[in-house]
Amino acid sequence: MANEIKGQTVKMWKDMDKDFSLRYQLGRLTKDDLKEIVKSYEIKGVSKLKKDELIETIIVNILNKISTTLETISDDNKNLIKNIINASGILDFNENINIDDVIELRNKAILFTGKIENKETLIITEEVKNILVGLLVECNEECKKDSSIVTNEEVKADEQLEIDKELINITNQINEMQKVENMRMIMNALSRKNKDKENNKKVGRNDLCPCGSGKKYKKCCLGK
């Protein structure tokens, strides 16, 4: 199978040994393949190096920068990496695997392609796999922490909502009590006003005396 990578046709499925060393897999690649890896890791000053020297330089850069590289790849690529690692670092290529994902990871030397026993095969080298396993575990732990933080925030939001509801309820009760108190004060004021009017009312001569004797005012307290 031939695939075009940035204008160049690369033979992806050349026969290979079941060798999981990074040095062996890089040694199988063409000069153009190695250039793609150099570009992916932004390795400078290697144009005059011999192939063996270039491979050694690439190995150092891969092992030092692969954690940063992992942060830039898609979730689909990460899932493909996990599937290969779960298969002990070697997986048969099939129609369910996106070839573009394979090419992208191949250009970063995260996986390598070839034929083993006439089967198109994906391999992750031991050196890379050991680093990736640790990084993917850390990533999963961080994702769990993030999920926990979100959950805690949601709980806090729910608690605050309940507090707000309770405060509104208390405020409404206070308002109702204040209304009742205001009404009581108004009624008392009206009652006092009526009493004052009653007290200030002029007593007629023939009215009952305000002293409560039962006699007419003119025969009781008038003139006293």
> In terms of Cα–Cα distance, which of 25, 31, 67 is closest to 46?
31
Mean pLDDT throughout 181-207?
70
Answer whether residue 215 shows pLDDT above 70: yes
Q: What is the pTM of this model?
A: 0.58
Taken in order of first residue, the domains within the chain and their CATH numbers are 1-141 (1.10.10)
Q: Which residues of 103-133 are buried (b: 16+ CB within 10 A; e: fewer)?
A: bbbbbbbbbbbbeeeeebbbbbbebbbebbe
pLDDT tens, 28-71? 999 899 999 999 999 999 989 999 999 999 999 999 998 888 88
Q: Report the percentage of the chain scoring pLDDT > 70.
A: 79
- Phi, psi angles (nearest 5°) of residue 213: -75, -20
Q: What is the distance between the alpha carbons of residues 92 and 127, in angstroms, rounded to a whole number?
A: 20
